[in-house]
Structure formats: structure tokens, C-alpha cells
Structure 1
Amino acid sequence: MKIFLAGATGAIGRTLVPELVARGHDVVGMTRSASKQDLLLNLGAHPVVADALDPEAVMRAVASAEPEVIVHQLTALSGPMSLRDARHPDRSLAATMTNRLRTQATDHLVAAGRAVGARRVVAQSFGAFRYARMGGPVLTEADPLEPDPPAALRAVQAGYQYLETAVTTIDWGAGLALRFGGFYGPETGLSLAPDAVMATAIRKRRLPIIGDGGGVWSHLHIHDAAAATVAAIERGAPGVYNIVDDEPVAVREWLPAVASALDAKPPRRVPRWLGRMAAGEMATVMMTEVRGASNAKAKRELGWQPRYATWRQGLAHGL
């Protein structure tokens, strides 16, 4: 198939392009930076330079490619981030730009897809920390999203919802939104790279366990995110899909294991009231109340299986 991949040089894109090429697909990779054209050529894609926030540029790029499938992996989160950015995504320039990519750029890609007669749109969304804080510890796509997220997450969550609605309601093709879990592995915030923001925070003991550490997190290796995207390109009905590993886990169990994998000291533990004062409501909720996600639908309908079935395997072999 002819595939137009927006965000082709991001963490997922760099793994996704070679996998698609190996499966016989013809990939046109869009990048905003002309300097990254050689990277895309080396990965096996045909590069095209365009600003995703320029509707006319996107239309020209998509029209030239004439794709059957449009894949939306656009973010502005690939560069260095500070710990302040991680605590306050609503104030982060990178997150603000990414929100524009989830809203405005989504509209541009969908409009271009309609114009050229594409048959399918697959877009990157996010599932971790979004489900309502009620019911069991592990929820499905049929369960409600959190109606009242912490203030620092409201704009971010609204951006995800906008993208999912815009993609899954197209009436001229199949639109799939993939709700990824928290990424780890190469080119992510949790890797062995010296500037990986979460790994750095854990090594410096700046990411404590707040309260009982009962918040349940769902994780995903970056290579498994790419593999799930391949599956969604090739099959699956319109809708949202949780793309996470097989073992959602409480922070109190996961965080010490990550510290050990990074040869760091165990995380500190702080009471909930102190965590709220020091790190804010968002971090406190994430540490104590959030729910994990089930991947049963993606396995059943996309035929996808994570290479790293649990975060335990990923920590041992995938960082």
C-alpha cells in the first residue's frame, strides 16, 4: 500500500518506517526539517518537507503522494524536556505545540485524505491517565474517560479527545485512534540516553512514590507502538484501541523496579499531602488514583501482540 506518514522522524516513526518497508509498503515520510530528508531516505521512505500546521503545504504533500493510508504520528516532544515540563504540561512549549498538532494538524491531514480518496487514517493518541478514576484497576475502551482531570492536564486531554473524534468519525474511510500507554525504550523519556527526562529524574531520586503509590500505570515499549501501528494500517474496524502491554501495574511496584534497572537508589516515599504541595495535584493523582488499560480489544481485532508482553521484560531487555 501507499502510506503517507506524518511525523516520520519521531521516536515511533524511526521504527515504523523500516517495518512498513519490510512488509512491502511504499512509504512517503513527511518532516518539517529539510535536514532530515537523508534520514528518511536511509530508513527507506520517500521524504517530503512540509509544515503540518500549514494546510496548503499538507494538501500539496498528500496530493503528490496519493496515499491509500494516512498515518498521524506528529508530536513536538522529541527534543529535550525539563522536569518542570513534565510536571506542568499545560505550561510546556513542546506540549502546547503538540496540542496544535493533535487539533489543527489533524484537521489538515483528514481534509487532505478526503481530497485524495484515502481509505484509512491511523493516528497516535494516548490512553494512560485518561480513564475515569472509578471502578476496577484496569479499564477498557468502553469505560468512561475522566470527566474532571487535574487542571494541568485539561488542555492536553482535550487535545487527545479532539484527535480521536476527528479521526474515528470520518465518513469516507476507516479511522483508528491508538491510545498508547506510557512509552519507554530508545528515543523516549525512559531509556539509557543521558538526557532521558524520566530516567534522569529517577536516578536523581526526584520522582518519589506519593502516598500509597496505588495509581495503576500501563506501559508500552516504543517498538511495540510501531508494531501496533502496522497492524492498524493493515486491518481493524474504525474506533479507538488501547495499545499497552499485558501488565498494568501500581506505581509502588513499578517505580522501584525501574530504579533498580537503572542502577539507581530506591525512590523516596512521601505522604500524599506533601506530594500535593511539592509536585501538584496532577502528579499526586497519577501516583495514587489513575487506572490502567486493557489491551484485549487490540489483540482481538488488530491481531497485535506486544513483543515485550510486560514491562518486566522491557526493563530487562528493551531500554
Structure 2
Amino acid sequence: MRVLVAGATGAMGKQLVPRLTGAGYAVFAMTRHGSAEPSLVELGAVPIVADALDRRQVEAAVREAKPDVIVHQLTAIGHIDTRHFDRSFAATDRLRIEGTDNLLAAGRAAGVRRFVAQSNGAFTYARTGGPVKTEQDPLDPAPVKPMAAMIAAVRHLEDAVLGADWTEGIVLRYGAFYGPGTSMAPGSAQLDAIGKGKFPIVGDGGGVWSFVHVADAAEATVAAIQKGSRGVYNIVDDEPAPVAEWLPEVARKLGARKPMRVPRWVGRLAAGEAGVVLMTELRGASNAKAKRELDWRPAHPSWRQGLRVS
């Protein structure tokens, strides 16, 4: 089977490509940067340099790869500044809209039979009802303004992929990544802030987060390529947890003091409206469907055991 991975040099791509080549797939790794070609070759992939926002380049890449499956892992998420949440996700929003459309158009022309796309199950569910959501639950219909563009881009991606009746569209709603190359890798700015006491609990800290180790997410993606059917899958670990629970535990692992608590109004001044939502209103996600249909089990069933801080 021939697989084209778009976004092959990101944190997920670096985990996914060697798993696919190791499973015997012919992997074509699409990257914007020619400098990444040697590392992709070392992983056993055929590098293809193309800008996902240039439709002609994407069409040429797909014609060259002749894939049976396209795996869309395009993101451009660096440090997330919750005070300017919309700016932090602007480049990724564009990839989720224009990049998705370009890949789908090229895939349709090439007769691709399966299209697997990265979505977000960490920050996007409706902030009403119970603390843990399934794939049947809606995305947030009324997000706060700083998060509106991000959720609109996720909705565009999901509607486009699931609405493509010429292929089998599969959407993977990943939880918040931790592990190598992620924003919660050892030595990362986020863990550094927690260790220095610069990451307080806002309000009641009732926002529920769902995490997933990036290696487990890659394993689930391979399973989706092999066994998935049209639809959405939450790819998260077994233990959704409120901020008031996971943040002090991470601080403890770092040998830091217990995080201070600040009222919502102080949190809004320091972290913006999006930061308050992430701390107090977020909903987690259930992985029951992925376990059942993909026969997938995270090797790191809880962030408690899986998260390494050094």
C-alpha cells in the first residue's frame, strides 16, 4: 500500500512515518522544507517537497506518490499564547482550511481510497453537559471570540473530509499531545512555566483535559489506516482530568511548589479569555470508540504514568 503523509516532519509525522515504513508501507513524506529530505530518507520514506498551500504543488506531489491513502497531519502550532489564542492558531487554521481543500482535490483526481486527517479533540467540544464527550457530541457552537477561528477551521476540515463521498474519510480528534517534540516534552516552555510557578490554577480549575502520548496517537493513526471506517474517532488516553487535578500533579513531578490559585478575573487579565476557558470550562473526551473499532489501546493509559518531565 502506498501512503502519502502530509506534515511528515512534525511531532506526529516523526512518530508516524517510521511506524508506517516498519509495517511495510511505501511511504511518501510531503514536506515544505528541502532540508528535511535526508532525515525522511533515513526513516525509509520517499520525500516530496511541496507547499500544502500551493494547489499545483500538492497536485504534483499526489501524482508523484500515487497513494492509496493520504494522511493529513498538517499543523503549524508552536508556543500557544492564550492571550492571543487566535494568532497562535492562525497558520494552522489556514492549513486546516486551504491545506485540507488542496489535499482533497488532489486526492479526488488521483482516486485516493482513504483520507485520514488530524483534528482536535482537546479544545473543541461544546462546554455544556457532562465532563467527558463522545464523537456524537457537538463541537462548541458558541466559542469565545479568541477560539472561534480555530474551531471554525476544525469544523471546516471535518465537514470536508467526512463529506467527501468519493473516498473513505476518517477524522482523528487527538487529545493534548505530550511526549517527544510536543509542547509538553521535557524541557519545554510549558513544563518550565509550571516548574517556575508561572502556571496558576484559574478559578475552580474545573476544565477537563484529555491527553495522549504522541507515540500512542501515531499507533492509533496506523490502526485507523488499517481498520478505520468513515467517521470520527477520539484519540485520547484513559484518564480525562480537570486542571485542578493534573496541574498540581505535574508540578509535583517537577519538584515544584503546588500551583497558586487565582480568581477568574485575574486569570482573564493574565491569560486572556481563552486561557480562562481552558482552565475552567473545557470538556474531555472518551476513547471507547477507538478502542472498540480500531482495536487500539494506549501504551500510556494515563498521563500520570506516561508524562516524563526530565
TM-score range, shorter chain: over 0.9
Matched, 1:176 2:149: no
Equivalent in the alignment of 2:85:
89
1:259-298 residue pairs with structure 2 within 5 A? 259-298=251-290
1:145 counterpart SS class: coil
Matched, 1:138 2:132: yes
Equivalent in the alignment of 2:157:
163
1:242 counterpart SS class: strand
Matched, 1:45 2:39: no
1:88 counterpart SS class: helix
State the distance in 1 between where 2:219 and 2:205 align. 31
2:307 counterpart SS class: helix
CA displacement, residues 97-146 of structure 1 (integer Å, 9 cap, x when unaligned) = 11111000101100111111110000110011211122211111111222
Query: 1:53–1:108: 8 Å Cα contact kept in structure 2?
Result: yes
With normalisation by structure 2, the TM-score equals 0.96
Equivalent in the alignment of 1:114:
108
State the distance in 1 between where 2:266 and 2:256 align. 23
Matched, 1:221 2:217: no
State the distance in 2 between where 1:86 and 1:153 align. 10
Structure 1 28/154 Cα, relative in aligned 2: closer, same or farther at 3 Å?
A: same
1:72-87 residue pairs with structure 2 within 5 A? 72-77=72-77, 79=78, 81=79, 85-87=81-83
Query: 2:83–2:273: 8 Å Cα contact kept in structure 1?
Result: no
State the distance in 1 between where 2:71 and 2:147 align. 25
Matched, 1:153 2:147: yes
Q: Matched residue pairs, number?
A: 310
Matched, 1:206 2:207: no
CA displacement, residues 273-318 of structure 1 (integer Å, 9 cap, x when unaligned) = 22123222211121112111001111111111111011111125x8
CA displacement, residues 223-259 of structure 1 (integer Å, 9 cap, x when unaligned) = 0111111011111111111110001011111001111
State the distance in 2 between where 1:146 and 1:50 align. 33
With normalisation by structure 1, the TM-score equals 0.94
Equivalent in the alignment of 2:23:
23
Q: One-letter code of the match for 2:214?
A: I
Q: One-letter code of the match for 1:139?
A: K
Equivalent in the alignment of 1:312:
304
State the distance in 2 between where 1:152 and 1:314 align. 31
State the distance in 2 between where 1:244 and 1:204 align. 28
Q: One-letter code of the match for 2:144?
A: P
Quote the RMSD (CA, aligned, Å).
1.4
Structure 1 277/89 Cα, relative in aligned 2: closer, same or farther at 3 Å?
A: closer
Equivalent in the alignment of 1:68:
68
CA displacement, residues 195-236 of structure 1 (integer Å, 9 cap, x when unaligned) = x23112212222110111111110011101111110111111
Equivalent in the alignment of 1:100:
94
1:280 counterpart SS class: helix
Q: Which runs of 5+ in 2 are unaligned?
A: none
Identity, % of aligned positions: 58
